[in-house]
């Protein structure tokens, strides 16, 4: 029966079966008591399951469902890597960045919506948050110190103290 199988099957299928049996034999000849499958063994079986139809017939070490699970895990890892996104917003052109900075510097009273609308009139469509990220904010005047507060409100403070009742 084995001879008939060998005669009617193709050379590539026989080579795949021979390769699979030799790989399993190499795993079983390890010096440890329980054979351990390495990552390369798992990759081998996952790839072999994709290119050879009768791979289940020669598999003796693990269950065929285990190999299918390895293949699915590899598929998930590949597509997770393939579809990863770069974090953050995409950068805008340096010319638009300089234009936003120039507009905000020359027109300090313009806010984000005004700069955004002016850019859209020039043909540059950007989000309001992008304008906010690149615009130059005018420096705020320093806050008044305590002494200035007292100078401005000394009459009110004295008036309050005179009308206190014991």
Q: Which two tokens stand for residue 50?
A: 């994709």
Q: What pLDDT score was predicted for residue 14?
A: 73
pTM to 2 decimals?
0.37
Residue 157: partners with Cβ closer than 8 Å, 6 or more residues away: 150
Find out whether 78 and 43 touch, Cβ atoms under 8 Å. no
Helical spans, DSSP H, in 9-58:
11-28, 39-51
| Integer angstrom CA distances of residue 28 from 2, 23, 33, 60, 76 | 23, 9, 9, 10, 29
What tens digit of pLDDT does each residue of 48-62 get?
777 777 777 777 677
pLDDT at residue 27 tops 90: no
What tens digit of pLDDT does each residue of 84-141 get?
877 777 788 999 999 999 999 999 889 999 999 999 999 999 999 999 999 998 777 7
């Amino acid at each position: 029966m084995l001879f008939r199988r060998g005669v009617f099957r193709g050379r590539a299928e026989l080579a795949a079966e021979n390769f699979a049996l030799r790989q399993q034999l190499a795993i079983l000849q390890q010096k440890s008591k329980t054979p351990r499958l390495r990552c390369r063994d798992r990759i081998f079986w996952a790839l072999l399951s994709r290119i050879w139809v009768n791979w289940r017939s020669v598999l003796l070490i693990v269950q065929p469902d285990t190999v299918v699970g390895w293949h699915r895990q590899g598929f998930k890892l590949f597509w997770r890597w393939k579809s990863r996104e770069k974090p953050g917003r995409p950068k805008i052109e340096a010319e638009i960045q300089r234009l936003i900075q120039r507009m905000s510097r020359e027109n300090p009273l313009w806010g984000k919506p005004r700069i955004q609308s002016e850019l859209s009139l020039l043909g540059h469509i950007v989000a309001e948050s992008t304008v906010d990220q690149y615009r130059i904010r005018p420096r705020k005047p320093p806050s008044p110190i305590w002494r200035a507060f007292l100078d401005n409100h000394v009459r009110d403070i004295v008036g309050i103290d005179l009308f206190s009742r014991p």
